[in-house]
């Protein structure tokens, strides 16, 4: 008595899609998602905060509870990633028990081999997932150090082409590992005539960098590599 029939002639009907990389900055995102066929949103954040803009993490029990409450009215599926950067497991376990569906490691909070190992240990204990944004500047280790810390366990790598962040210049190597699930984001897909030109400004804004500081500009430029972005297109094909 509560269902409706919708005519599907001359249309292509598909299951609802999953967006696994959401910065939860605004309720309007849920409306935009469902209007575009997205029925599951996975990511992190607390609203229009600097941490949300940059890192897709919902940090701490209180924030996780509040975000779960905030999306109750929407006819969508939501999954929140807690902040996974902690070399000790106690705080990570607390966030999973609060309702996080997974842990997000981000370079802005220090994605060290110790934090990678800690997050994956908690994921194994709680049957949850880990997503990782690796260390662009290689301050905490190189791509081989990250692969060693992952130790064959299953993990979802963001920005595997490197433009959104990750070990420069060879994060793409990680796509060849057996249990690593690489992903892309729409700034580099598809690779077209303006992709490279648009990236620098976007990078400066999203990561709160100062165009007057040469080191900030160099950091942003180190991420934008035409070769790996082009390779990403080929690998998707």
What pLDDT is recorded for position 208?
81
Q: What are the tens digits of pLDDT across the range 27-75? A: 999 999 999 999 999 999 999 998 898 899 999 999 999 999 999 999 9
Comparing CA positions, the residue from 64, 55, 66, 144 lying closest to residue 104 is 55
Portion of the chain with pLDDT greater than 70, in percent: 100
Per the annotation, the verdict on 207 as an active-site residue is: yes
DSSP 23-75: E---THHHHHHHHTTEEEEEEE--SS-HHHHHH--B-HHHHHHHHHHHTTTSS
Separation CA 62–CA 72 (nearest Å) = 16
Q: Please measure the distance between the N-terminal and C-terminal CA atoms of the chain and give it in whole angstroms.
A: 45
* Whole-number Å distance between alpha carbons of 85 and 107: 9
Mean pLDDT of 166-191: 89
CA distance 118 to 115: 5
Give me the DSSP letters along 142-184: -HHHHHHHHTT--EEES-TTSTTSSSTTTGGGGGGSTTEEE--
Which of 106, 207, 208, 236 is labelled catalytic? 207
Other beta carbons within 10 Å of 97: 11
Q: Convert the pLDDT of each residue in 111-122 to its tens digit.
A: 999 999 999 999
Nearest to 170 by CA among 227, 234, 237, 230: 227
Q: Give the pLDDT of residue 207.
A: 77
- The CA dihedral of 104, 107, 111, 116, to the nearest 10 degrees, is 30
pLDDT for 2 equals 93
Question: Could you state, in order of their start, the residue ranges of all structural domains in the chain?
Answer: 13-102, 134-237
Alpha carbon distances (Å) from 224 to 49, 71, 148, 155, 200: 25, 35, 25, 24, 8
Q: What are the pLDDT digits (tens) for 192-213?
A: 888 888 888 888 887 788 999 9
Residues 137 and 168 sit within 8 Å (Cβ to Cβ) = yes
Q: How confident is the model at residue 153 (pLDDT cuts 50, 70, 90)?
A: very high
- With 90 as the cut, is the pLDDT of residue 233 above it? no
Q: Tell me the C-alpha distance between 183 and 22, whole Å.
A: 13
- Coil, helix or strand for 132? strand
| Backbone torsion region of residue 104, taken as left when φ is above 0, otherwise alpha when ψ lies between -120 and 50, otherwise beta | beta
Task: Report the SS3 class of residue 116.
Answer: helix
State residue 100's pLDDT score: 98
């Amino acid at each position: 008595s509560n269902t409706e029939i919708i005519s599907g002639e001359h249309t292509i009907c598909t299951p609802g899609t999953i967006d696994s990389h959401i910065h939860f900055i605004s309720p309007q995102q849920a409306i935009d998602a469902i209007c575009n066929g997205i029925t599951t949103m996975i990511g992190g954040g607390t609203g229009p905060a600097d941490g949300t803009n940059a890192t897709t993490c919902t940090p701490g029990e209180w924030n996780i509870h509040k975000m779960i409450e905030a999306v109750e009215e929407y006819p969508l599926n939501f999954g929140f990633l807690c902040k996974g950067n902690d070399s000790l497991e106690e705080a990570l376990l607390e966030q999973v028990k609060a309702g996080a569906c997974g842990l997000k490691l981000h370079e802005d909070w220090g994605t060290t081999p110790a934090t990678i190992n800690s997050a994956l240990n908690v994921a194994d204990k709680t049957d949850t997932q880990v997503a990782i944004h690796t260390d662009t500047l290689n301050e905490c280790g190189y791509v081989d150090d990250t692969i060693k810390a992952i130790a064959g366990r299953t993990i979802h790598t963001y920005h595997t082409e490197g433009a959104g962040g990750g070990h420069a210049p060879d994060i793409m190597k990680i796509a060849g590992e057996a249990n690593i699930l690489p992903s892309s984001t729409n700034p580099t897909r598809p690779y077209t005539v303006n992709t490279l030109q648009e990236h620098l400004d976007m990078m400066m804004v999203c990561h709160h960098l100062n165009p007057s500081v040469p080191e900030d500009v160099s950091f942003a430029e180190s991420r934008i590599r035409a070769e790996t972005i082009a390779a990403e297109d080929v690998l998707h094909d």
